[in-house]
Structure 1
Amino acid sequence: MNKVLKQDACMEKIEELRNKMVAAAGQYGLSHPIVLHYSQELDRAHNKVILLETGTKDWERSLSF
C-alpha cells in the first residue's frame, strides 16, 4: 500500500473517530470516559498521519489504532 493510500485511510479513520467523539460528547458530556477514549484514539490517528507525512521509518510499529 502506498503512502497516499495510507494517508487517505488515516484521514477516513480520523473523520470516523471525530464523529463518534462528538456524538458521545453530546450524549454523555465532555468528561465521560468514552469521550476521552475517542479523543485519545483521535490523537493517535493524527500522530500517524504526521509520521506518514514526515516519512518517519517504522511508523506502523510506532502507532496503532
Structure 2
Amino acid sequence: MLDTIINNGFLLLLFVSWVVIVASPSYRFRWLVFLTVGLFLSLYFWIYLPIEDEAHRVGH
C-alpha cells in the first residue's frame, strides 16, 4: 500500500510540476521546480527502490 501511495504521489508531483513549469512566466521559478523534482526523483531511485527491492528479496 505504501508503494502505491508513493507512486501516485510521484505522478501527482510530476503533473503539478509540469503545470507550474508550463504556466510560470518566471524562468528562475521554472528552474527551481525542475531541480526540485529532479532531486526528489533521484532520491526515490537511489534510496527507496533499493530498500524496496531488498525487502522483497528478504520477504519472499
TM (norm. structure 2) is 0.61
State the one-letter code of the partner of 2:39.
R
* Structure 1 gap ranges (5+): 59-65
Q: Distance in 1 between the 2:30 and 2:37 partners?
A: 10
- Report the CA distance between 1:47 and its aligned residue: 2.8
Q: Are 2:28 and 1:33 equivalent residues in the alignment?
A: yes
Contact 1:14 1:42 in 2 (8 A): yes
Structure 2 counterparts to residues 1-65 of structure 1, below 5 A = 2-24=2-24, 27-28=25-26, 32-51=27-46, 52=48, 55-57=49-51
Task: Quote the offset at 1:44 in angstroms.
Answer: 2.4
Task: Compare relative contact order (CA 8 Å, sep 6+) and give the higher one, 1 or 2.
Answer: 1
The TM-score normalised by the length of structure 1 is 0.57
The answer for unaligned runs of 5 or more in structure 2 is: 53-60
